[in-house]
Amino acid sequence: MITVTSVGQLKEYRDSLEGSVGFVPTMGALHEGHLSLIRRSIAENDHTVVSIFVNPTQFGPNEDLETYPRTIEDDAAQLKRLGVECLFAPKSSGEIYPLGLQRGPFVDVDLGWATKGLEARTRPGFFKGVATVVAKLLLLVRPGTAYFGQKDWQQLTVVKALCEGLFLNVKIESVETARDPNGLALSSRNSYLEPSARLAASDIYKGLLKAAASARLGMAKSSLFEPIEQLWHQHVLDGRFKIDYLELCTRNLEPIEAVCNSCVVLCAVYVHGVRLIDNILITV
Protein backbone atom coordinates (compact mmCIF):
# COMPACT_ATOMS: atom_id res chain seq x y z
CA MET A 1 0.00 0.00 0.00
CA ILE A 2 1.22 3.47 -0.80
CA THR A 3 0.37 6.48 1.34
CA VAL A 4 0.13 9.87 -0.32
CA THR A 5 -0.11 13.06 1.73
CA SER A 6 -0.45 15.80 -0.86
CA VAL A 7 -2.90 16.61 -3.63
CA GLY A 8 -0.03 16.58 -6.13
CA GLN A 9 0.96 13.04 -5.15
CA LEU A 10 -2.64 11.89 -5.35
CA LYS A 11 -3.09 13.36 -8.83
CA GLU A 12 0.11 11.68 -10.01
CA TYR A 13 -0.99 8.34 -8.56
CA ARG A 14 -4.50 8.61 -10.02
CA ASP A 15 -3.18 9.44 -13.49
CA SER A 16 -1.14 6.22 -13.44
CA LEU A 17 -4.17 3.96 -12.94
CA GLU A 18 -5.93 1.86 -15.52
CA GLY A 19 -9.14 -0.01 -14.82
CA SER A 20 -11.94 0.64 -12.37
CA VAL A 21 -11.38 2.72 -9.23
CA GLY A 22 -13.39 2.44 -6.03
CA PHE A 23 -13.20 5.07 -3.29
CA VAL A 24 -14.05 5.10 0.41
CA PRO A 25 -13.78 8.51 2.11
CA THR A 26 -13.38 8.37 5.90
CA MET A 27 -12.34 10.50 8.86
CA GLY A 28 -10.28 7.65 10.27
CA ALA A 29 -10.60 5.79 13.60
CA LEU A 30 -11.58 2.89 11.38
CA HIS A 31 -14.06 0.27 12.58
CA GLU A 32 -15.88 -2.65 11.01
CA GLY A 33 -18.36 -0.29 9.36
CA HIS A 34 -15.57 1.35 7.38
CA LEU A 35 -13.93 -1.99 6.67
CA SER A 36 -17.15 -3.39 5.21
CA LEU A 37 -17.20 -0.51 2.71
CA ILE A 38 -13.56 -1.09 1.85
CA ARG A 39 -14.00 -4.84 1.34
CA ARG A 40 -16.89 -4.13 -0.98
CA SER A 41 -14.77 -1.72 -3.01
CA ILE A 42 -11.86 -4.16 -3.24
CA ALA A 43 -14.20 -6.91 -4.41
CA GLU A 44 -15.79 -4.76 -7.11
CA ASN A 45 -12.91 -2.68 -8.47
CA ASP A 46 -9.41 -3.02 -9.90
CA HIS A 47 -8.09 -0.35 -7.52
CA THR A 48 -9.30 1.00 -4.18
CA VAL A 49 -8.40 4.37 -2.69
CA VAL A 50 -9.25 5.22 0.94
CA SER A 51 -8.96 8.73 2.34
CA ILE A 52 -8.50 9.68 5.97
CA PHE A 53 -9.18 13.33 6.63
CA VAL A 54 -10.88 14.89 9.65
CA ASN A 55 -12.70 17.61 7.77
CA PRO A 56 -12.77 20.82 9.85
CA THR A 57 -15.54 22.53 7.87
CA GLN A 58 -18.20 20.02 8.97
CA PHE A 59 -17.60 20.65 12.68
CA GLY A 60 -19.43 23.40 14.54
CA PRO A 61 -17.69 25.72 17.04
CA ASN A 62 -18.75 23.62 20.05
CA GLU A 63 -18.18 20.20 18.52
CA ASP A 64 -15.37 17.67 18.93
CA LEU A 65 -12.94 18.62 16.14
CA GLU A 66 -9.94 18.72 18.46
CA THR A 67 -10.81 15.52 20.33
CA TYR A 68 -12.14 13.47 17.41
CA PRO A 69 -10.37 10.08 17.49
CA ARG A 70 -7.21 10.03 15.39
CA THR A 71 -5.54 6.63 15.02
CA ILE A 72 -3.69 6.96 11.73
CA GLU A 73 -1.01 4.31 12.39
CA ASP A 74 -3.53 1.65 13.40
CA ASP A 75 -5.78 2.67 10.51
CA ALA A 76 -2.95 2.34 7.99
CA ALA A 77 -2.07 -1.10 9.33
CA GLN A 78 -5.67 -2.26 8.93
CA LEU A 79 -5.83 -0.93 5.38
CA LYS A 80 -2.60 -2.67 4.45
CA ARG A 81 -3.88 -5.99 5.80
CA LEU A 82 -7.05 -5.63 3.75
CA GLY A 83 -5.09 -5.04 0.57
CA VAL A 84 -5.95 -1.39 -0.03
CA GLU A 85 -3.76 -0.02 -2.78
CA CYS A 86 -3.64 3.66 -1.82
CA LEU A 87 -4.27 5.71 1.32
CA PHE A 88 -4.73 9.44 0.89
CA ALA A 89 -4.00 11.12 4.22
CA PRO A 90 -3.57 14.87 3.65
CA LYS A 91 -0.75 16.27 5.73
CA SER A 92 -2.79 19.38 6.56
CA SER A 93 -6.18 20.96 5.92
CA GLY A 94 -4.39 23.32 3.53
CA GLU A 95 -4.07 20.47 1.03
CA ILE A 96 -7.87 20.29 0.75
CA TYR A 97 -8.57 23.98 1.43
CA PRO A 98 -5.67 25.84 -0.23
CA LEU A 99 -7.44 29.20 0.17
CA GLY A 100 -8.18 28.62 3.85
CA LEU A 101 -11.20 27.37 5.76
CA GLN A 102 -13.24 30.56 5.32
CA ARG A 103 -12.47 31.47 1.70
CA GLY A 104 -12.70 29.83 -1.70
CA PRO A 105 -15.36 27.67 -3.32
CA PHE A 106 -17.84 25.81 -1.14
CA VAL A 107 -20.71 23.55 -2.16
CA ASP A 108 -24.14 24.05 -0.62
CA VAL A 109 -26.76 21.40 -1.48
CA ASP A 110 -30.34 22.58 -0.99
CA LEU A 111 -32.91 19.77 -0.88
CA GLY A 112 -35.48 21.67 1.14
CA TRP A 113 -36.33 20.03 4.45
CA ALA A 114 -33.95 17.16 3.65
CA THR A 115 -31.04 19.56 4.15
CA LYS A 116 -32.67 21.83 6.74
CA GLY A 117 -34.12 19.28 9.17
CA LEU A 118 -32.65 16.40 11.19
CA GLU A 119 -28.85 16.82 11.40
CA ALA A 120 -28.91 20.22 9.73
CA ARG A 121 -31.21 21.65 12.40
CA THR A 122 -28.76 20.77 15.18
CA ARG A 123 -25.58 21.22 13.16
CA PRO A 124 -25.95 24.26 10.87
CA GLY A 125 -23.27 24.28 8.19
CA PHE A 126 -22.61 20.56 8.58
CA PHE A 127 -23.81 19.53 5.14
CA LYS A 128 -22.08 22.45 3.44
CA GLY A 129 -18.84 21.10 4.89
CA VAL A 130 -19.69 17.52 3.92
CA ALA A 131 -20.74 18.39 0.38
CA THR A 132 -17.64 20.52 -0.15
CA VAL A 133 -15.12 17.94 1.03
CA VAL A 134 -16.85 15.07 -0.77
CA ALA A 135 -16.93 17.06 -4.02
CA LYS A 136 -13.23 17.88 -3.70
CA LEU A 137 -12.27 14.28 -2.94
CA LEU A 138 -14.37 12.86 -5.78
CA LEU A 139 -12.83 15.31 -8.23
CA LEU A 140 -9.34 14.33 -7.07
CA VAL A 141 -9.80 10.54 -6.96
CA ARG A 142 -12.17 10.33 -9.96
CA PRO A 143 -13.63 6.98 -8.91
CA GLY A 144 -16.21 5.07 -10.87
CA THR A 145 -17.87 4.13 -7.59
CA ALA A 146 -17.76 5.58 -4.07
CA TYR A 147 -19.04 3.73 -1.01
CA PHE A 148 -21.00 5.19 1.92
CA GLY A 149 -22.73 3.59 4.91
CA GLN A 150 -26.47 3.73 5.46
CA LYS A 151 -26.10 4.83 9.10
CA ASP A 152 -25.65 8.38 7.82
CA TRP A 153 -28.83 8.25 5.72
CA GLN A 154 -29.17 12.02 5.40
CA GLN A 155 -25.54 12.35 4.36
CA LEU A 156 -26.06 9.57 1.82
CA THR A 157 -29.03 11.46 0.40
CA VAL A 158 -27.01 14.68 0.13
CA VAL A 159 -24.05 12.94 -1.54
CA LYS A 160 -26.30 11.29 -4.15
CA ALA A 161 -27.88 14.67 -4.93
CA LEU A 162 -24.44 16.29 -5.10
CA CYS A 163 -23.23 13.80 -7.72
CA GLU A 164 -26.42 14.03 -9.74
CA GLY A 165 -26.63 17.82 -9.63
CA LEU A 166 -22.98 18.47 -10.49
CA PHE A 167 -22.76 15.68 -13.11
CA LEU A 168 -19.84 14.09 -11.26
CA ASN A 169 -20.33 10.75 -13.02
CA VAL A 170 -19.74 8.74 -9.85
CA LYS A 171 -21.94 5.86 -8.78
CA ILE A 172 -22.78 6.05 -5.06
CA GLU A 173 -23.16 2.63 -3.46
CA SER A 174 -24.77 2.43 -0.04
CA VAL A 175 -23.76 -0.36 2.34
CA GLU A 176 -25.86 -1.63 5.22
CA THR A 177 -25.03 -0.27 8.68
CA ALA A 178 -22.50 -2.37 10.59
CA ARG A 179 -23.44 -3.05 14.21
CA ASP A 180 -22.11 -4.42 17.45
CA PRO A 181 -23.56 -7.81 18.47
CA ASN A 182 -25.93 -5.86 20.76
CA GLY A 183 -27.20 -3.79 17.81
CA LEU A 184 -25.41 -0.50 18.45
CA ALA A 185 -24.48 1.12 15.13
CA LEU A 186 -20.72 1.28 14.78
CA SER A 187 -19.31 4.79 14.95
CA SER A 188 -15.91 6.29 15.68
CA ARG A 189 -17.60 8.30 18.45
CA ASN A 190 -18.56 5.07 20.25
CA SER A 191 -15.03 5.19 21.67
CA TYR A 192 -16.24 8.05 23.90
CA LEU A 193 -18.71 5.71 25.66
CA GLU A 194 -18.03 3.92 28.92
CA PRO A 195 -19.12 0.24 28.95
CA SER A 196 -22.33 1.02 30.86
CA ALA A 197 -23.22 3.81 28.43
CA ARG A 198 -22.47 1.56 25.48
CA LEU A 199 -24.89 -1.01 26.89
CA ALA A 200 -27.59 1.62 27.33
CA ALA A 201 -26.97 2.91 23.80
CA SER A 202 -27.85 -0.51 22.39
CA ASP A 203 -31.49 0.32 23.21
CA ILE A 204 -31.48 2.92 20.44
CA TYR A 205 -31.60 0.25 17.76
CA LYS A 206 -33.77 -2.08 19.83
CA GLY A 207 -36.40 0.66 19.91
CA LEU A 208 -36.17 1.12 16.16
CA LEU A 209 -36.58 -2.63 15.65
CA LYS A 210 -39.70 -2.65 17.82
CA ALA A 211 -41.21 0.13 15.73
CA ALA A 212 -40.38 -1.65 12.47
CA ALA A 213 -41.93 -4.89 13.77
CA SER A 214 -45.19 -3.14 14.63
CA ALA A 215 -45.41 -0.95 11.53
CA ARG A 216 -48.40 -1.26 9.25
CA LEU A 217 -49.47 0.80 6.29
CA GLY A 218 -51.19 4.02 7.32
CA MET A 219 -50.12 3.79 10.97
CA ALA A 220 -49.82 7.27 12.50
CA LYS A 221 -46.35 8.47 13.40
CA SER A 222 -47.31 8.79 17.07
CA SER A 223 -48.38 5.14 17.19
CA LEU A 224 -45.26 4.00 15.38
CA PHE A 225 -43.11 5.81 17.92
CA GLU A 226 -44.87 4.33 20.98
CA PRO A 227 -42.66 1.22 21.31
CA ILE A 228 -39.53 3.34 20.84
CA GLU A 229 -40.54 5.84 23.48
CA GLN A 230 -41.60 3.12 25.90
CA LEU A 231 -38.20 1.43 25.65
CA TRP A 232 -36.31 4.72 25.95
CA HIS A 233 -38.54 6.16 28.69
CA GLN A 234 -36.50 5.09 31.71
CA HIS A 235 -33.24 6.10 30.05
CA VAL A 236 -34.68 9.59 29.50
CA LEU A 237 -35.96 9.82 33.10
CA ASP A 238 -32.58 8.72 34.45
CA GLY A 239 -30.75 11.24 32.31
CA ARG A 240 -28.90 8.66 30.23
CA PHE A 241 -30.71 9.65 27.03
CA LYS A 242 -31.50 13.05 25.63
CA ILE A 243 -33.43 12.78 22.38
CA ASP A 244 -32.40 15.32 19.76
CA TYR A 245 -34.87 14.13 17.12
CA LEU A 246 -37.01 11.16 16.19
CA GLU A 247 -38.57 11.48 12.74
CA LEU A 248 -40.53 9.50 10.16
CA CYS A 249 -39.70 10.31 6.54
CA THR A 250 -39.90 8.96 3.05
CA ARG A 251 -36.60 7.54 1.88
CA ASN A 252 -36.01 10.83 0.07
CA LEU A 253 -36.35 12.54 3.46
CA GLU A 254 -39.70 14.17 3.10
CA PRO A 255 -41.34 14.26 6.56
CA ILE A 256 -44.58 12.29 6.77
CA GLU A 257 -47.23 11.74 9.45
CA ALA A 258 -48.12 8.11 8.66
CA VAL A 259 -46.29 4.99 7.54
CA CYS A 260 -46.04 4.61 3.78
CA ASN A 261 -44.88 1.66 1.74
CA SER A 262 -41.20 2.58 1.90
CA CYS A 263 -40.05 4.93 4.62
CA VAL A 264 -37.36 5.44 7.21
CA VAL A 265 -37.26 6.29 10.92
CA LEU A 266 -34.27 8.43 11.86
CA CYS A 267 -33.02 9.52 15.26
CA ALA A 268 -30.23 11.31 17.06
CA VAL A 269 -29.79 10.60 20.77
CA TYR A 270 -27.31 11.93 23.28
CA VAL A 271 -26.15 8.99 25.41
CA HIS A 272 -24.23 10.19 28.47
CA GLY A 273 -23.49 13.33 26.44
CA VAL A 274 -22.28 11.50 23.31
CA ARG A 275 -24.40 12.22 20.23
CA LEU A 276 -25.28 9.08 18.26
CA ILE A 277 -27.40 8.73 15.12
CA ASP A 278 -29.24 5.73 13.73
CA ASN A 279 -32.09 4.79 11.43
CA ILE A 280 -34.15 1.87 10.22
CA LEU A 281 -35.77 1.32 6.84
CA ILE A 282 -39.41 0.27 6.97
CA THR A 283 -41.13 -1.57 4.14
CA VAL A 284 -44.77 -2.52 4.65
Rounded to 5°, angle at Cα 144 from 142 and 147: 100
Residue 284 has pLDDT above 90, yes or no: no
Average pLDDT over residues 32-36: 96
Residue 101 lies in a domain: yes
Domain boundary among 152, 175, 198: 175
Using CA atoms, how far apart are residues 238 and 132, in angstroms rounded to an integer?
39
Provide mean pLDDT across the span 278-284: 95
In the residue annotation, 34 being an active-site residue is answered as: yes
Asked, for residue 132, whether it belongs to a domain, the answer is yes
Helix intervals (H) in the chain: 7-15, 32-44, 72-82, 93-96, 119-122, 126-141, 153-165, 195-214, 221-237
The share of the chain scoring above pLDDT 90, in percent, equals 98
* Listed residues 124, 148, 175: the one ending a domain: 175
Summarised one tens digit per residue, pLDDT across range 58-94 is: 998 889 999 999 999 999 999 999 999 999 999 999 9
Q: What is the C-alpha separation between 258 and 143, in angstroms, rounded? A: 39
The residue range of the domain holding 25 is 2-175
Of 143, 175, 207, which residue sits at a domain end?
175
Residue 36 confidence (pLDDT): 97
- Distance of alpha carbon 137 from the chain centroid: 15
Same-domain pairing of 42 and 148: yes
Q: What is the CATH number of the domain that holds 147?
A: 3.40.50.620
> Model confidence over 90-138: pLDDT tens digits?
999 999 999 999 999 999 999 999 999 999 999 999 999 999 999 999 9
For 254-263, the pLDDT digits (tens) are 999 999 999 9
- Residue 182 included in any domain: no
Contact call for residues 51 and 88 (beta carbons, < 8 A): yes
Quick one: average pLDDT of 217-221? 97
Same domain, 17 and 86: yes
Looking at 31, 34, 47, 235, which residue is catalytic? 34
Q: Which CATH number goes with the domain that contains 243? A: 3.30.1300.10
47-52 and 171-175 beta bridge pairing:
unpaired
Which residue, among 105, 125, 127, 132, has the nearest Cα to 114 in the 3D structure? 127
Q: Do residue 197 and residue 248 come from a single domain? A: yes
